[in-house]
Amino acid sequence: MHNEGDRMKVEKEEIYIYLENDKAFSTNQSLRESFIGEPKGNKIYLHPIEVLYLANIRKAKVFENRQQLSLSQVFQRFYSAGIFARYNVYRDWKDRGLFLTFPERSRMENFGKTPIKKYPSKQFSFQANFPIFFVKEECYSLAFGKDARKFFEEYWFGQWGVYKNIERGNLLTLDAIETLYLSKKGVETIDVSSNKKMPFEDVLREVEKKIPYASRMLEIYEDWRDKGFILKTGFKFGTHFRVYFPGVKPVGGKKEWQHSKHVIHVFPKEVSMPMSEWSRAIRVAHSVKKTFIMAIPGMKKEDYLKEKTPIDFVAWHRKSGNEVERPSKDSPSFLILSLNEDENLSGKMLASALDRADELGLRLLIAINDRETSVTYYLANRIELPGSEHKYYEIEWFTP
């Protein structure tokens, strides 16, 4: 039977939890050992997710007003929109023998556990002594002559000839974002159909008819290009750009075509992305052994103040040697944002969550719960790109 020491409090309603299989401990002591609930005096305050976990996984008997609740009644009693995805992440983390709690129970200070990856940069400038001819119906441009070929070989803008076969053809093809960048930098841009010069603003207007967030993509492209990086289309890898570090040329010294090791996906603050699409993009990049970089352009200080993405959990992990971190003596390692595979996440929401993790000196885990209750984790590592006003993160699969 339960006793007065086993009384729990949930949302101002008192209930009793009795763990039938606990022989060595009272229920209260067992919960304290498991870091479940928030002890206050002789009571433990439980979050609804913890009640669901105890009832479903630990087979706890739940009593309310001296009446035992069935499992279905427990779920009905404590259900709220979105709770099942959060519950399932909580259950998965606990099943791995790890500890987690809710942000309101944790002290919020900087724990100094946010590793920052520093990317190199190189001063970049170029000269283009030829015009580019813009094909507005298809959003690309062409350039001709020896100067255009030399420009390609020197700076790796566009594609001379055919991909991986530069001797097959005699023109330079530039994609939409490359065209915008060169036009913005002052390269003479001519409408191929009218033979009239086009200002950058007109080129951008035409491109955005086909690519709605082209200006955001240009922001990221320009940020990296101006620092010496080479950005090419990432279409084959399900992303916006593939990235080469400063100093790379189209063809190596042994006439071998260069291969990128990084890709960038532009996630504008105004855009919402289904988590299924998020997962696919990262999976494709990882399947070809490329680092997936998430770029979130357009965020301002006021955006972070207005958009406060709720963080679901503060979590402890493992130390070296596989020893488990414990809340009683170790600081946490992660913040966890939990979603299901059908939910949408906006660039602004993700940026806000990442910013919160940076403030606390913790790493952000994005936990995606699928329809079979499997949970996939993605870890965000912040990138420092010297002189950049944008935020970038490497996103990788993570197995707790």
259 a catalytic residue: yes
Rounded to the nearest 10 degrees, what angle do helices 176-184 and 200-210 cross at? 160
Cα separation values, 8 from 24, 51, 216, Å: 20, 10, 51
Which residues make Cβ contacts (< 8 Å) with residue 363, sequence separation at least 6?
113, 114, 115, 333, 334, 335, 357, 379, 380, 381
**Is 290 in the active site?**
yes
Please identify which of the residues 59, 150, 164, 259 carries the catalytic annotation. Answer: 259
Which candidate in 47, 94, 265, 290 is catalytic? 290
Could you identify the residue written with the tokens 């913040």?
Answer: 335
Backbone angle region of 373, left / alpha / beta, with phi > 0 → left and psi within -120 to 50 → alpha: left
Q: How far apart are CA 140 and CA 376, in angstroms?
A: 38
Coil, helix or strand at residue 305: helix
Q: What angle do CA 147, 148, 149 make, to 5 degrees?
A: 90
Tokens at 349, concatenated: 């929401």
Q: What are phi and psi of 344, to 5 degrees?
A: -105, 145
- Angle CA 296–138–271, to nearest 5: 20
Phi–psi pair at 290, nearest 5 degrees? -115, 140
What is the distance between the alpha carbons of residues 163 and 224, in angstroms, rounded to a whole number? 22
Q: How far apart are CA 335 and CA 332, in angstroms?
A: 8
The pair of three-digit structure tokens given for residue 227, joined into one six-digit string: 């620092």
Percent helix, strand, coil in the chain, to 5, is: 30, 30, 40
Q: Which residue in 244, 377, 392, 393 is the catalytic one?
A: 244
Q: Where are the alpha helices (DSSP H) in the chain?
A: 27-33, 48-56, 71-78, 83-95, 146-155, 176-184, 200-210, 214-225, 275-287, 301-306, 347-360
Tokens of 285: 């990049």
Q: Are 57 and 65 in contact (CB under 8 A)?
A: no
Give the C-alpha separation, 123 to 247, whole Å.
11
Q: Which residues are catalytic, by number?
A: 244, 259, 290
